[in-house]
């Protein structure tokens, strides 16, 4: 049996969506004998189907790509009506009522076992629309049938590492791994808890095995650990650091991670340093207590943020703060407080977003109550994480209760602050290079020599004319 996956990303992305890689690895482990391939964005999918001749085609999409993916699927169904099409991904999981009739079924939530059962069913009976397979949606007699939520996979280590070769991930470049699924927090802007429920973790041995593969097989010098919250399990961090030291990996690879101020203490930061972590990203969101309490449900405080940044600096780890502006109830004064707070805490890097209501989040419900969105219908004007400029600000939908002229002025101020932090980081990185330091010293020495020479000339002139020339 042949299966073709269609990625919503371009071929060769060094930070791809790993979902398809996990599916391929899972099927290869538990259902060997399948022939699988991947088609990527900007490649002709009809041409690929014509040459590969798949028995089944799987699509994946996130919120800001699902419309084009739906159109790809429509085109495929028009040309190959007998080939079953299956949709997966975060967006369809949260907005399954929007499943179009030209897609035969959708996989909801964690997809490895669900998709495997669909493949097995199609192999055995030629059917994928089966009510005894939990975790899918399909149409029956014109009506949508949701077979209910599937139990999440346990232990998580039973899912093999994603197949990066199938995703055409380039070697030696920055890439990422995922060592857990889920988050215990319920931030207003995030849907992770709705997708994954309670957090589950890969074992330290599983994680180090994937790191070792990245370092030795793919030649990577740096990895992003893309968990929602990597530091929640401090015993696992210590064991990861210990095994990495035993394998001689700690000095060969660096990490960027995502953490939470509640899980930043001396013990954790020392183990992260042993691992090779060089940057920690923390969700700081706002310099306004009112907005921070709203977005983070009162869990994060500015004092906790200050302490976390201080720990990073004391241990030589870069601190990146993620902020957002344009949140519900936010005023001009709130955004000014954010700007001042960013200046105060001295971040090494800054992540700045415009608050965006994604499906499955409390912000989405807020936007729906305000009439800014329709049920299950994404509007590109909501997408604030793209660059905002004078040309598109008028089209954007902003959640904050302020006029767009004021908002754009404040956005420019925060964006200028972001650029200043970027420039400082670039200068620090430049100065870390021995060759650049030598060039700088040669330049300074040359300027000093020129200055001394100028002084000598002026002194000589003063002796000749009896006064010291000022110009």
pLDDT at 198 (0 to 100)? 87
Neighbours of 180 (CB within 10 A): 21
User: For 129-138, 191-200, 393-402, 451-460, which range has the lowest pLDDT when averaged over its residues?
Assistant: 451-460
pLDDT at 403 (0 to 100)? 92
440: its two tokens: 């700088």
DSSP-assigned letter for residue 149: P
Token pair 């009162």: residue: 298
pLDDT at 459 (0 to 100)? 67
Residue 231: is its pLDDT beyond 90?
yes
Helix or strand (DSSP H, E) at 56: strand 56-60
Helix or strand (DSSP H, E) at 87: strand 85-88
Mean pLDDT of 336-360: 94
Residue 254 · residue 287 · CB < 8 Å: no
How far apart CA 353 and CA 372 sit, in angstroms, is: 19
Neighbours of 10 (CB within 10 A): 12
pLDDT at 187 (0 to 100)? 96
User: For 86-100, 165-179, 273-287, 369-383, which range has the lowest pLDDT when averaged over its residues?
Assistant: 369-383
- Of the pLDDT bands very low, low, confident and very high (cuts 50, 70, 90), residue 292 is very high
How far apart CA 93 and CA 90 sit, in angstroms, is: 5
pTM: 0.88
Scanning 87-186, the segments in alpha helix (DSSP H) are 90-94, 112-125
List strand residue ranges (DSSP E) for 11-123, in order.
35-41, 56-60, 85-88, 105-107
Could you tell me which CATH class the domain 2-139 is placed in?
Answer: alpha beta
54's CB contacts (< 8 A; 6+ apart) are 2, 3, 4, 37, 83
Residue 165: is its pLDDT beyond 90?
yes
Q: How far is CA 231 from CA 39, 152, 264, 321, in A?
A: 35, 22, 8, 16
Mean pLDDT of 188-207: 94
How far apart CA 353 and CA 83 sit, in angstroms, is: 40
Taking Cα atoms as reference points, which of 3, 320, 2, 24 lies closest to residue 169?
A: 24
The three-state secondary structure class of 107 is strand
Q: Where are the domains of the chain?
A: 2-139, 170-431
Mean pLDDT (the chain, rounded): 91
10, β-bridge pairs: 41
pLDDT at 105 (0 to 100)? 97
Mean pLDDT of 63-68: 92
Token pair 């996979």: residue: 153
Q: Which of 295-299, 431-435, 443-447 has the highest mean pLDDT?
A: 295-299
281's CB contacts (< 8 A; 6+ apart) are 256, 257, 258, 259, 320, 321, 322, 349, 351
Neighbours of 150 (CB within 10 A): 18
The three-state secondary structure class of 283 is strand
How far apart CA 95 and CA 86 sit, in angstroms, is: 15
pLDDT at 356 (0 to 100)? 93
Buried b / exposed e across 187-205, counting CB within 10 Å, b at 16+?
A: bbbbbbbbbbbebbbbebe
- β-strands 175-177, 222-225 pairing: parallel
Mean pLDDT of 296-320: 96
Residue 408 · residue 399 · CB < 8 Å: no
Residue 249 · residue 284 · CB < 8 Å: no
Taking Cα atoms as reference points, which of 413, 262, 273 lies closest to residue 350?
A: 413
Q: How many helices (H) and strands (E) does the chain have?
A: 15, 15
Cα dihedral across residues 165, 166, 169, 170: positive or negative: positive
How far apart CA 110 and CA 135 sit, in angstroms, is: 8
Task: Give per-residue pLDDT as tens, 72-90.
Answer: 999 999 999 999 999 999 9
How far apart CA 334 and CA 331 sit, in angstroms, is: 5
pLDDT at 425 (0 to 100)? 66
How far apart CA 419 and CA 153 sit, in angstroms, is: 43
User: Domain 170-431 adopts which CATH fold?
Assistant: TIM Barrel (3.20.20)
Mean pLDDT of 194-198: 88
pLDDT at 212 (0 to 100)? 96
Task: Give per-residue pLDDT as tens, 136-156.
Answer: 999 999 999 999 999 999 999
Rama region for 206: left / alpha / beta (φ>0; ψ in -120 to 50; rest): alpha
Q: How far is CA 74 from CA 57, 92, 283, 312, 368, in A?
A: 12, 16, 39, 50, 28
CB hemisphere CA count around 213 (13 angstroms): 15
Task: Give per-residue pLDDT as tens, 107-127.
Answer: 999 999 999 999 999 999 999
């Amino acid at each position: 049996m042949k299966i073709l996956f269609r990625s919503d990303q371009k071929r060769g992305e060094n930070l791809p969506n790993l979902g398809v890689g996990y599916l391929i690895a899972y099927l290869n482990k538990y259902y060997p004998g399948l022939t699988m391939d991947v088609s990527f964005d900007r490649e002709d999918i009809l041409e690929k189907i014509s040459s590969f001749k798949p028995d089944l085609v799987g699509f994946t999409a996130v919120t800001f790509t699902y419309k084009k993916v739906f159109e790809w699927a429509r085109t495929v169904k028009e040309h190959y009506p007998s080939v079953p099409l299956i949709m997966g991904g975060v967006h369809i999981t949260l907005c399954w009522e929007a499943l179009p009739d030209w897609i035969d079924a959708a996989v909801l939530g964690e997809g490895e076992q669900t998709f495997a059962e669909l493949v097995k069913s199609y192999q055995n009976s030629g059917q994928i629309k089966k009510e005894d397979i939990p975790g899918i949606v399909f149409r029956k007699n014109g009506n949508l049938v949701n077979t209910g939520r599937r139990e999440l996979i346990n232990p998580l280590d039973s899912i093999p590492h994603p197949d990066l070769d199938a995703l055409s991930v380039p070697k030696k470049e920055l890439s990422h791994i995922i060592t857990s699924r889920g988050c215990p927090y319920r931030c207003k802007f995030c849907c992770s808890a709705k997708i994954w429920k309670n957090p589950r973790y890969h074992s330290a041995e599983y994680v180090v095995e994937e790191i070792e593969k990245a370092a030795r097989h793919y030649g990577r010098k740096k990895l992003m650990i893309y968990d929602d919250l990597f530091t929640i399990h401090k015993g696992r961090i210590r064991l990861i650091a210990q095994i990495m030291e035993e394998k001689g990996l700690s000095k060969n690879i660096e990490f960027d991670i995502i953490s939470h101020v509640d899980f930043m203490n001396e013990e954790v930061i020392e183990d992260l340093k042993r691992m090779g972590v060089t940057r920690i990203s923390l969700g700081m969101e706002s310099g306004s207590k009112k907005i921070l309490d709203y977005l983070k449900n009162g869990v994060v405080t500015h004092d906790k943020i200050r302490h976390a940044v201080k720990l990073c600096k004391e241990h030589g780890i870069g601190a990146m703060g993620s902020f957002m502006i344009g949140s519900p109830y936010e005023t001009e004064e709130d955004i000014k407080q954010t700007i001042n707070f960013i200046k105060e805490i001295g971040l090494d890097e800054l992540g700045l977003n415009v608050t965006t209501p994604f499906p499955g989040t409390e912000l989405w419900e807020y936007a729906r109550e305000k009439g800014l969105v329709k049920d299950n219908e994404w509007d590109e004007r909501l997408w604030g994480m793209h660059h905002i400029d004078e040309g598109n600000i008028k089209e954007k939908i902003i959640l904050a209760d302020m006029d767009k002229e004021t908002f754009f002025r404040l956005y420019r101020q925060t964006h200028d602050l972001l650029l200043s932090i970027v420039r400082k980081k670039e200068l620090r990185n430049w100065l870390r290079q021995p060759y650049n330091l030598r060039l700088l010293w040669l330049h300074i020495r040359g300027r000093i020599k020129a200055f001394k020479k100028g002084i000598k000339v002026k002194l000589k002139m003063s002796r000749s004319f009896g006064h010291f020339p000022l110009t």
